[in-house]
Amino acid sequence: MRVIWWLATVVAVGLVGIVLSEQRALDPLHDLSLTTTAPVEDGIRDIASPLNDIYEGVRDRGGLVRENRRLQEELEALKQQLAEQQDAQQRIRELEDALQVKQSRPEDQLLVANVIAQEPSGLKRAIAIDRGQDDGIDEGMVVLSRNGTLVGTVSLAYRDFAWVRLITDPESAVNAEVELQGPQPQPPASPQAVAPATTAPATPTPSVTEPGSVPQEPGSQPARGVAEGDLRDGLVLDLLPTEAGIAQGNLVLTSGLGGNYPPALLIGSVKDVDERPQSPFKTATLEPAADLSSLDTVLILVSFRPARLSGR
Amino acid sequence: MKYLLAFAVAWFLAVLNVSAMPYVQVLHVTPDVVLIFAACWTMVRGRDEGLIVVPIAALLRDLTTSDPLGTSLLAMAPLIPLAAVVRLRAMATDFLPTVALVAAGSFFYGVISTLVLAATGQTTPWDDAFLRVVLPAALVNSLFTPIVYLPVHWFSPGRKAWLVGSTRYTSA
């Protein structure tokens, strides 16, 4: 009997809490909690980050295909370089990187924020940052990596902190376009589906440093779709026209349609194309340009006001 | 005093859950040390203490994540009745029942969290959530149970032999 009463109380309190949270009545409590925990979380992340490098190295050994192995080696080399730096030097370099991005996009106002926490639930992909409404952060604002590639949008803004919904979250949808500059697949036999021809050489290497300056073949039309977060594949480009000649390695940028994201922000590159004969659209799995699993510093694009209504 | 300690440990684990644990990905899911802690405490120290510690852990977890406050409270509530069910079968150890409780509790946690997400208007891919998150999380949390179970067991008076339980219900 006591357990039944306990369960009834817990369910009632839980439901009331959820309703109050949805109405944003408990935001001060969340903000206070993050204020209390942020220094500890930041410290633990600093300690855990190098350990993660070791863990990743052990976990991924032996399971890589040839191209992934090459990329992994590059990643390992970069991580090794990072591990050798002192914390202070690392922070300075991150801020220098941020400054470079700012110089490359002089028209944009960017705000640097530190990542203090990451959503542990597998059902959501989100990070917490140490900037909030007092810093001019608003829900819906676009968040970039320190290299200027798209990371996500602000989904919850408290006074001093905010949660950022990553582009791999199932709730995320970004209007995107594929730059058709890479190798094109063989045209299908069907006369209705003809891929636009391009003459670019094979295997392009995506550049993640200059999001606004991706070269495009003259005359090639970008294929438009929607980049959606996916629990299985991470990031999927859906609603692509069947006649679009998408190939592995093609760069995917924001199209700017809908007004929620500025155009020409690099989202990632095409990893795999899923083409079904009966499907009205083509789908592609994307590799995000930013390493979303180990973000330390992000940039918030405060000068861009998204068209979407603020809300969760 | 014991609840103060439980609060402190739960707070630390909640912080650990959002700071260091996301780096530990097994089967693409992160072990939920707060849930494991609540289950271990309930199993090792008894239901009466579980009635207090489970809500504390749940609220602290919600305060450190982006979930609406109350989500974990609902999702962890099955731990208490599940603990009673697990204890119905007499065993000479607390460890295996705790692993079973963590697995079952993680499953219910995932299902209820997904329901709350759906109820609050968030996109809920049910099949992927079930196959990619809920089931793997039950398995991964079970695998990580010893890491939390051993300290909780060692700290509990009269339970120094970690495989020998003393709070089980026995059937006649």
Q: Distance (Å, rounded) from C-alpha A270 to C-alpha A247?
A: 7
Query: How would residue A186 be classed by pLDDT, with cut points 50, 70 and 90?
Result: very low
B80/A55 CB distance under 8 A: no
**Could you read off the pLDDT of A251-291 as tens digits, one per residue?**
889 988 888 888 888 898 898 888 877 778 888 999 998 88
Q: Distance (Å, rounded) from C-alpha B43 to C-alpha B52?
A: 13
Interchain CB contact of B116 with A (< 8 Å):
yes
DSSP A188: P
Residue B79 has pLDDT above 80, yes or no: yes
- Closest-CA residue to A292 (of A124, A114, A123, A167): A167
Which amino acid would we find at residue A142?
Answer: V
CA distance A206 to chain B (A): 25
Name the residue facing A123 among B16, B73, B114 (closest C-beta).
B114
Which amino acid would we find at residue A109?
Answer: Q
Contact present, B102 and B110 (Cβ < 8 Å): no
Average pLDDT across chain B, whole number: 87
Average pLDDT across chain A, whole number: 77
- Closest-CA residue to A119 (of B7, B161, B30): B30
Name the residue facing A45 among B19, B29, B69 (closest C-beta).
B19
Substitution target from A123, A163, A169 for chain B, most B beta carbons within 10 A: A123
Contact present, B82 and B53 (Cβ < 8 Å): no
Between the alpha carbon of residue A272 and those of residues A184, A232, A285, A288, B73, the distances in Å are: 13, 14, 5, 12, 40
Q: What's the pLDDT at A62?
A: 60
Contact present, A146 and A174 (Cβ < 8 Å): no
Q: What's the pLDDT at B102?
A: 95
CA distance A139 to chain B (A): 14
Substitution target from B9, B17, B23 for chain A, most A beta carbons within 10 A: B23
A119/B65 CB distance under 8 A: yes
Name the residue in chain A with its Cα closest to that of B58: A14
Substitution target from A53, A121, A127, A174 for chain B, most B beta carbons within 10 A: A121
Residue A29, φ and ψ in degrees, nearest 5: -70, -45
**Residue A239, C-beta contacts closer than 8 angstroms, at least 6 positions apart:** A225, A226, A281
Name the residue in chain B with its Cα closest to that of A38: B15
Residue A204 has pLDDT above 80, yes or no: no
The Cβ-side half-sphere exposure at B19, using a 13 Å CA radius, reads 22
Q: Distance (Å, rounded) from C-alpha B70 to C-alpha B61?
A: 10
Strands in chain A per DSSP E: 110-118, 126-129, 142-145, 150-157, 162-166, 173-179, 223-230, 234-241, 251-254, 266-274, 281-288, 297-301
A306 vs B106, residue with greater confidence: B106
Query: How would residue A41 be classed by pLDDT, with cut points 50, 70 and 90?
Result: confident
Q: Distance (Å, rounded) from C-alpha B152 to C-alpha B159?
A: 10
Report the complex ipTM: 0.86
Name the residue in chain A with its Cα closest to that of B106: A121
A118/B19 CB distance under 8 A: yes
CA B143 to mean position of chain CA atoms: 12
